[in-house]
């Protein structure tokens, strides 16, 4: 009945521990579910922001491509309009020269028919010649100034084009550097994601190892409680205090622990026999020497920390092993830890009836004196009858598998032995739990070290990504500034005449009435030469006009020439207005929209 109650209490305690672990697991699961939900929400928000940004950049690139097409179309149209404008300017200049020539011819004919004397005619011719010479001088001066201005503007345009080429070179280098930076950033992000996955796996292994460590600790504590429950309170308190006191005194290396922890039994079948044979000696603490035992006993006494029996190895080693039947036999094979010969099988005793109990134990040679002291004179017998006979014959203690014991002095001990409360089984569980705990701690430490190293690596990669991103933004800002500078230089270059341009310039056409052309100057010189020739001619003043001259004077050639000049001026003004409208649209609208689109595409 008592055994059943003990078993019930044990099961209830085990159930309580399992329920507590179950509640802890449910709490951890709930916390992990919350963390996962938060991470999923953060990830979804980040993905939505990234998608919105990508969509915005895509739309900006489409608009930028459309603006680029409009810019190319406007520049192409400007290139086609320029030759037309030059041709219209030339046509208007020719029409103006023709009107001026006809007017002067008509004046000359009118003078010829109107002046009555050669002096009056010559005076009028001299006035006209002087007027033309003054006009010629002014036009030549204007043409010379225009030539100088054109040379200066052409040199300035060359400088602008050189600066534009340098700007293009820097822009291309910036673009290459940006591409390299983005490529490196992409590789670094990929490596960071890989390391993050490895870090996650390392922390998962750490958590699993930590869980196994906690389970091993709980298992070991439970086995220790079960073991302590089978001991007197003073002994369990003393054993619990020895390890702590030894650590405080710096004697950990000289304290080897209870005897029960220093050997293993070949099979659980022999547990009962070993426990009965050793008795309380199983919980004796093996130490290196008697000085260590003395110091520990004094400390336990001063602290009132329980009672412990010590087995000093130096004292046990000084005792010679007792032989069987009066013969002393030593074991010279100290290197064989699995089979230290303390007691030999008696020659006249069958192994089927009895064997040395120590032969079923495995232990280190260092602890042989302590093991020999506890089991050296004990035989494991098949039955109680055989045990009684062996005890009388060989003067040794004998024990059976069922735990019946016969002392060498003839005392018999027996009865029920509860195997569920086996101290050796509890000690084996503790040893296994310690081994599992050490393995779990080693794995947890290894996983923690790796996870920590990966944390540092991920942080380093994140910092490198931030640096690359800052570099990319810096390059993007510089590229945007270079793009604006390119637009300014392009405007400046277009506003200045090229070296092969016309007199009015390519980039900024002006009216030809502002600057005289070589044809106008040649026309004036021709008129002057005609007036001088007329003055020197032998035609008498007041001479009647010929029929051809009368017909020339009365013809409507002047009106026709003026109509042609008006048409040429209208065509030139319409073409010039179209050119100006396209130029303003390009400079004020399209180029500005291209800069804005560039900023949006870069995400700055």
The DSSP secondary structure of 169-201, one letter per residue, reads HHHHHHHHHHHHHHHHHHHHHHHHHHHHHHHHH
Say which CATH topology domain 221-445 has: Alpha-Beta Plaits (3.30.70)
pLDDT at position 328 is 40
pLDDT at position 153 is 77
Give the lowest-confidence range in 80-89, 192-201, 285-294, 550-559. 550-559
Local confidence band at 317 (pLDDT 50, 70, 90 cut-offs): confident
Alpha helices, DSSP H, located in 496-556:
518-536, 547-554
pLDDT at position 510 is 45
Local confidence band at 187 (pLDDT 50, 70, 90 cut-offs): very high
Give the lowest-confidence range in 119-133, 190-204, 328-342, 416-430. 328-342
Across 333-356, average pLDDT? 57
In whole numbers, what is the pLDDT of the chain averaged over residues? 79
Across 396-408, average pLDDT? 87
Which is more confidently placed, 226 or 51? 51
Q: Per the confidence metrics, is the pTM higher than 0.85?
A: no
**Digit-coded pLDDT (tens) for 13-65:** 778 878 887 888 888 888 888 888 888 888 888 888 888 888 888 888 888 88
Local confidence band at 286 (pLDDT 50, 70, 90 cut-offs): very high
**Which of 271, 411, 397 minimizes the C-alpha distance to 322?**
397
Cα 235 from Cα 228, distance rounded (Å): 8
* Dihedral (Cα; 260, 261, 267, 270), 10-degree rounding: 0
- Percent of the chain predicted with pLDDT > 70: 83
Strand order in the sheet with 412-413: 354-356, 378-381, 397-400, 405-406, 412-413
pLDDT at position 456 is 92
**Digit-coded pLDDT (tens) for 240-264:** 888 889 889 888 899 998 998 899 8
- Exposure string over 390-428, b if 16+ CB within 10 A, otherwise e: bbeebebbbbbeebbbbebeeeeeeeeeeeebbbbbbbb
**Digit-coded pLDDT (tens) for 469-479:** 888 888 888 87
pLDDT at position 287 is 93
Which is more confidently placed, 106 or 383? 383
Give the lowest-confidence range in 28-37, 307-316, 469-478, 545-554. 545-554
pLDDT surpassing 80 at residue 228: no
> How many other β-carbons are positioned within 10 Å of the β-carbon of residue 70?
16
pLDDT at position 312 is 92
**Which of 55, 40, 72, 93 minimizes the C-alpha distance to 516?**
93
Local confidence band at 285 (pLDDT 50, 70, 90 cut-offs): very high
Dump the DSSP string for 478-506: HHHHHHHHHHHHHHHHHHS--TT--TT-S
User: Between β-strands 397-400 and 378-381, what pairing exists: parallel, antiparallel or unpaired?
Assistant: parallel
pLDDT at position 240 is 83
**At residue 382, what are phi and psi to the nearest 5 degrees?**
-70, -45
**Digit-coded pLDDT (tens) for 123-135:** 777 887 888 888 8
**Which of 281, 276, 280 minimizes the C-alpha distance to 384?**
276
**Digit-coded pLDDT (tens) for 447-467:** 889 989 989 999 999 999 899
Q: Which two tokens mark 470?
A: 């800052």
- Percent of the chain predicted with pLDDT > 90: 6
Cα atoms in the 13 Å half-sphere on the side-chain side of 165: 5
pLDDT at position 114 is 61
Local confidence band at 499 (pLDDT 50, 70, 90 cut-offs): low
């Amino acid at each position: 009945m008592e055994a059943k109650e003990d078993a019930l209490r044990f099961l209830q305690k085990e159930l309580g521990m399992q329920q507590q672990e179950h509640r802890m697991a449910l709490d951890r699961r709930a916390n992990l579910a919350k963390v996962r939900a938060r991470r999923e929400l953060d990830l979804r928000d980040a993905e939505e922001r990234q998608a919105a940004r990508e969509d915005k950049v895509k739309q900006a690139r489409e608009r930028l491509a459309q603006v680029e097409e409009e810019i190319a179309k406007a520049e192409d149209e400007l290139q086609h309009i320029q030759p037309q404008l030059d041709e219209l300017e030339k046509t208007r200049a020719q029409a103006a020269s023709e009107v001026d020539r006809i007017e002067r011819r008509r004046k000359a004919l009118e003078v010829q028919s109107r002046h009555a004397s050669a002096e009056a005619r010559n005076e009028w011719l001299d006035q006209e010649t002087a007027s033309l010479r003054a006009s010629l001088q002014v036009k030549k001066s204007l043409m010379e100034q225009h030539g100088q201005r054109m040379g200066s503007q052409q040199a300035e345009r060359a400088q602008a084009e050189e600066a534009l080429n340098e700007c293009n070179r820097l822009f291309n280098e910036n673009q290459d550097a940006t591409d390299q930076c983005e490529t490196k950033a992409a590789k670094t992000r990929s490596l960071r994601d890989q390391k993050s996955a490895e870090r996650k796996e390392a922390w998962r292994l750490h958590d699993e190892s930590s869980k196994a460590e906690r389970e091993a600790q709980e298992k070991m504590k439970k086995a220790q409680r079960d073991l302590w429950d089978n001991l007197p309170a003073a002994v369990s308190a003393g054993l619990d205090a020895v390890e702590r006191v030894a650590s405080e005194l710096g004697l950990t290396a000289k304290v080897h622990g209870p005897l029960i922890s220093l050997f293993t039994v070949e099979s659980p079948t022999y547990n009962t026999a070993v426990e009965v044979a050793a008795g309380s000696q199983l919980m004796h603490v093996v130490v290196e020497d008697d000085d260590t035992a003395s110091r520990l006993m004094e400390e336990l006494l001063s602290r009132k920390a329980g009672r412990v029996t010590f087995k000093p190895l130096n004292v046990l080693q000084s005792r010679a092993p007792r032989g069987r039947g009066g013969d002393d036999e030593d074991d010279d094979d100290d290197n064989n830890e699995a089979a230290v010969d303390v007691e030999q099988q008696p020659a006249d005793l069958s192994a089927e009836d009895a064997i040395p109990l120590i032969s079923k134990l495995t232990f280190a040679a260092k602890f042989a004196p302590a093991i020999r002291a506890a089991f050296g004179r004990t035989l494991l017998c098949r039955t109680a009858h055989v045990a009684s006979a062996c005890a009388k014959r060989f003067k040794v203690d004998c024990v059976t598998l069922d735990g019946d014991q016969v002392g060498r002095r003839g005392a018999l001990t027996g009865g029920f032995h509860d195997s569920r409360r086996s101290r050796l089984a509890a000690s084996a569980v503790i040893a296994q739990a310690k081994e599992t705990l050490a393995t779990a701690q080693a794995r947890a430490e290894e996983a923690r070290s790796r996870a920590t190293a990966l944390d540092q690596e991920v942080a380093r990669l994140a910092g490198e990504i931030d640096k690359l991103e800052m570099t990319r933004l810096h390059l993007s800002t510089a590229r945007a500034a270079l793009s604006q500078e390119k637009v300014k230089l392009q405007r400046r270059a277009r506003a200045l005449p090229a070296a092969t341009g016309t007199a009015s310039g390519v980039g900024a056409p002006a009216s030809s009435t502002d600057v005289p052309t070589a044809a106008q100057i040649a026309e004036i010189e021709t008129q002057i030469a005609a007036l001088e020739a007329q003055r020197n001619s032998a035609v008498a003043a007041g001479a009647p006009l010929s029929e051809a001259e009368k017909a020339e004077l009365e013809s409507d050639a002047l009106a026709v020439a003026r109509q042609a000049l008006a048409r040429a001026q209208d065509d030139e003004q319409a073409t010039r207005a179209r050119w100006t409208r396209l130029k303003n649209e390009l400079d004020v609208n399209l180029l500005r929209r291209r800069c804005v689109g560039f900023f949006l595409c870069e995400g700055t």
